[in-house]
Chain A
Amino acid sequence: MWNDYSKSYIKNNRASSLSVIAAAFISALLLSLLCSLFYNLWKYEAERIELEEGPWHSRIEGVIRDEDLEMIRDFAHVESADRVPEQGTSPEPSAAVDLRFDDMGLVLENTPRIAALLDIPPENISYHHSLLALYMVRDPQDTAPRLIFPLFLAVTIAASLSLIAIIHNSFAVSMNARVRQLGILSSIGATPKQLRACLLQEAAALCAVPVAAGDLLGILTSMGLLRMSNALLDGRIEGRHEAVFGYHPLVFALTLLATVATVWISAWMPARKLSRLTPLEAIRDAGEPRLKRRNRSRLLALLFGVPGELAGNALKAQKKALRTASLSLVFSFLAFTVMQCFFTLSAISTRETYFERYMGVWDVMATVKNASAGTFAETDEIRSLPGAESVTVYQKAAARRVVASGECTDEMLAFGGFEGAPAGDVTPLDWGWLVNAPLVILDDAGFLSYCAQIGAEQRLDGAVILNRIRDVTNPDFRHPRFFPYIREDAGTSVLLQAASVSVSAEVPVLAYTDQVPPLREEYATLDYYELVHFLPVSLWREIGDRIGGAEPDFYIQVRARENATRAELDSLQQEIRRLLTASGYTAESENRLQEQETNDTQIRGMMAFFSLFCILLAVIGAGSLFSNALGFVRQRKREFARYLSVGLTPEEIRKIFCIEALVIAGRPVLITVPAAALAVFLMLRASYMDPGEFLAEAPLLPIAAFLLAILASVALAYRLGWRGLQKLRLAEILRDDTML
């Protein structure tokens, strides 16, 4: 039938063929682009994790001899097994081995087997959860949500399905219009098999080249986009490694398979539909959009009269064909609006709760690794650096303390005392409650300055207790309320070792206060019942050995002069790092302005990524709309002829199309405005932000720009459809026997 029928059909139906070719090309391009971008995003994330955290899949800690190492390397599917490089200055050789497998699915299965062979207990095994999660390998013990990869995957699948729907719709429009022709063929003796073969041959002939070209161009576009992102982000985000384009043959195979399968199914479906009809039914079916039941478009009729009602009915009749376009446009605009509002709100919140809150507290921060503040002697040297206004060196340590039954304040008891306190935070005892008492060990000068700040006696032999507990009945974290925690009559505080409460140290209490020193720290954010103690480093030197629990790192917090520039802070940061390195310390450092800029860049980057996704969705919607509009000429010429024959002027028909376009473009707004308003209301409520603050920075401009782009694309699609219909002449349509 190819030579006898299909070739002529394709030749004599250029518009229809072009519409199918365009849809197949656009969809294959976007699908290929999307899959390629997703693959590269995944690849980049895996590379980033491997660079930052190491390329290992699992780690075994214990006594592992060289011959054991050889045995591990010979184990099935083990790609490599290497000792973990030694860290710090510890004289002990590393007892950990990093394993990589050539089959990720076997990591969780084979690592315990290897450990068992070495007589190493299972608790000495650790897994690289973040890396494994990228390969969809989840350890049941890992409680972190790790949703980014599944989220990306879900987004890619959803977008791919939308693109597939475009190809399908385009075919459906073309094929449905031909049901009558196929019915004629059937009536003169074409078998269902012959019709199916004919449709599939046509689909293959029309789509082979555009699908291949679209797939190829999609890969090239993603390559270009990756290069562009490298050029844009290079040097802006510290530590960012360059993305190297990669493409796995499986991605190509999947993309191709998805498009080919869609084309095949789309061509096969009309054949199936036909097989359910008698030739007579098929001949009577004109493939014309029809209303299934009477359903007046009251609002449109009221607003625009007869053209409004006709437009409403036409939209209902085309409901199926317009589904992809409508859904994509609505969802893209909704997602874009909510995303813009969310990031604006998030930026305001971070700025207020972090950057503005700590603006006068720190400018440069250094985290000194594996060292103790007690032995740090370079504080004065840092203080003398040009640009450094004040320096505080501090370290944190874990300890515990008993709050006796009679020690709680009346306010604390009025709020229920320790009733309902989580068992992990508070342990009830016969004579009171054992609570966490985090220690903040300040350098002596910093501690004395703190004493002066709160009006306490300036001594170095005691501690200051942060005597406040948050009113948990007020969830507003932006404006928290506190009340006194314990009575302030005890002159000493007995600190207990966090690991073993049998070891203690009694320290004098210099003051109880509800004020905190100017540190970039948060207190009692998770454990409401912790009783924070501030200690001078001199006192820590005396009790540190008994209490222990010190964190491995300590911090140097430096404040520069007011309104210091980024260059000044960079220079100060460099000087501090140089000094620390020269003294043999390993340190990481950051400065406030740099962090703020990085944060802004990250937010912009995330916004750009999500915007790109929304734009992609909108393009899918617009693509579907264009594909539908190009099918107007075939699909709606009878409708057009009927309108003309009953006396509607071309101007009135144009009005019908304008109303249809308005409804399609207006629907995203009508759905988005209340939904976005509700989402913003809930976000504002959850973040306790003043609506006025948000409204002052509301992202109205990008939302309006996005909406205008949607309006323009809908208008253009309908303009093209209208132009095609304008070219038709009533007499020609009426003469066409398929009209009857």
Chain B
Amino acid sequence: MKNTNPNEAGVEQAVPQKPKKSFSFSEKIIKRLTLTFFAVVWLLLAFLESAQLFRVHDLSLFLFTEQFFKEMMVAPAGLLSYIGCFLIQFFYYPALGAAIYVALLFAVYYLVRKVFAISARWSLTALLPVVFLLASNMFMGYWIYYNKLQGLFYIAVVGTIFVLLAMWACKKLPMWAKFIFVALWSVVGYPFFGIYALVGAFLMALQALCGKGNIAARVALLLLSLALAGALPALAYGNLYTSTSQPLMYAAGIPAYQFSLATEAWYIKRVWMLWMPFVLLFVTMVLFAIFSDRVEGKKVTDRYTMCQAALCAIIVLATWGFWYSDSNFTTELKQHRAMWDEDWERVAELGKTSCAPTRLIVMNRNIALLHLGRAGEEMFHYPDGSAIPESTMNVRLVQTGGKMAYYQYGRFNFCYRWCVEDAVEYGWKVEYLKHAVRSMIASGQYKTARRYVEILKHTLFHASWAEKYEKMIYNIKLADKAPEISFPRLMFKYRDTLDVDESHVEAYLLNQMTSNLFVKPTPVCAEASLMHALIRKDTQLFWNAIVEYLNTHKQLRIPTHYQEALLLYANIDRRADVSKFKFDKKIEQRFRDFSKLTSKYRGMTEEQMAPYFKDDFGDTYWYFYFFIRDIKSN
């Protein structure tokens, strides 16, 4: 835009005109946009993703012990893991954790600008690494359950900060000193920062190569960085580190699943998108290193404006595009947290939010209704089904919520078993330790419970939780008074058997809860058994379960769904006599209406009939029995 002063131009100013405003990416605007970006990211993390952040913290562990530090350092990039685990624990308070995370992202932005001398006019470009770092975390979704790299959420961010700090220091050095610095940084940095040290050395050399000075020296520096990147992991393999395979020595600090050298096409296909943020981060940094100090010019041209607009679009689209969003995933996370808080009303309520729920949502909701004593009235009021979790991988219930389900149904040995199995594969987490404590107390294995209590006492935010349960170990009466222990114990009334679940949690529970293994079942036991019999839609299992239920529930009125089931199964199994049961007139009438409607649409497939029944009978067991089919659970 060309600014002209009317007076200077000698034009008479008759009527004051409003200056024509056009949008331009002034430094002020860019600064505001940048700050808005960080503010929005914080808001999204702190509020929209608070359940996920909390679960990320729950699926991590940091102990204030020397031993924990030593265990982290057994692999290259151990320091990053240690720092990562330390920082992740603050997601216990999602808003605080998000603030720390965003502050570190801002540090990356700031350092990128400093290291690559990016002017205020082009400072939006410095947001690109930030976006890709954010993407590397927010794109994971269900992968959070399958991460083997401790401290993952922060590793890339902290690793990048260390790289940038080193580059900043290196940049100021004379060429001869750069050789020493790059060598030292690589050798000393590799154990602490893994691949980030090697990439950092390469970027330092690349930046020097694209700078000024003796070309031979600059090329030699680049070759040195490449040689060190090739040699150090090979030298460290087996000599310094024995717990990492040789190929993965070159990927220390990057999640193995994201840098798998597997050749299987299915695996590559599933994870390649997860690699993208890391690839893009690297490419961006390389481009910065090549073009640093070269972008000049102060004119606000159309081309500049378009560039800035394009940058804004890329930033927004990349952030949005890489941000995993799935309502079932979020619901599961919220339910899980509410279950730990014993907020069963909320767990049940959340079960209504999805019209195509996953099995975990349905299972959680049924557990909540069992706690609330409303299963017989409500369990078929809610959406049902078996939506497959939105993920590139085969998500198993046992990792997402199976341990909690086993615990709630009094399968304490199996809850504990999966804590240990998953701890072997993914490392001990706060969540596993807490399950281990509760399941061992509930099953009377106090010595084992005590060991996990001792570990939790070394955490920042769970020491008081551990102390609470430690008191129960020494005074079991306290456990009897604690609903989170005493309620599942009501279902711990079955004979011991030798068994395997083949990692199919729901199928195993459906079989076990309807088996005849219960010894003197409590009312809760009998109801849980009946609920599972209803889900299995097995006539004989239903009759067994309803008899046990009626024997343990002497109240006058049989709950609605159980009346519905009695009418249905009596209709299917003509031998059964239900005349002695007192049915609600309304339910009997509805069943007659349901039967009439069935006759009316005879000849149609179940799929064709379902919509005609949905409005009037969608809240009945009959609808579930006939129209909720092909439930798949894993």
Q: Do A and B belong to a common assembly? A: no
Q: Which A residues are within 8 Å of any B CB, using their own CB?
A: none
Q: Which B residues are within 8 Å of any A CB, using their own CB?
A: none
